[in-house]
Amino acid sequence: MPKAAAASAKTPSDPVSYEAALEELEQLVGRIESGQLPLDQMLAGYQRGAALLEFCRGRLQAVQDQIKVLDEGTLQTWTQE
């Protein structure tokens, strides 16, 4: 298998929801904090955790932006990115 295909096969997909991302992040933190992961898995876990955190922050920001719109009395359609 070519290296590019192998690398893409190992890339985790985006979570389906904020709740799914948060659950995965909590499980990941538990595994990292246990101290039982080999160094390479710990690094991969840290990288995945950073991606999940970015995803969650983006979703929260979108919701906060929508709330600001509602608070200003202007109802607009909210689109998820």
What is the C-alpha separation between 66 and 76, in angstroms, rounded? 8
> What is the CATH T-level fold of the domain 18-74, as seen in this structure?
Helix Hairpins (1.10.287)
Place of tokens 């689109």: 79
What is the mean predicted confidence (pLDDT) over 30-35?
A: 92
pTM of the model: 0.70
**pLDDT score of 11:** 52
**pLDDT score of 12:** 72
Tokens for 18, please give them: 């904020």
Q: Where are the beta strands (DSSP E) in 4-80?
A: none
Contact yes or no for 81/62 (Cβ under 8 A): yes
What is the C-alpha separation between 42 and 30, in angstroms, rounded? 11
What is the mean predicted confidence (pLDDT) over 42-71?
A: 92
- What are the sequence ranges of the domains in the chain? 18-74
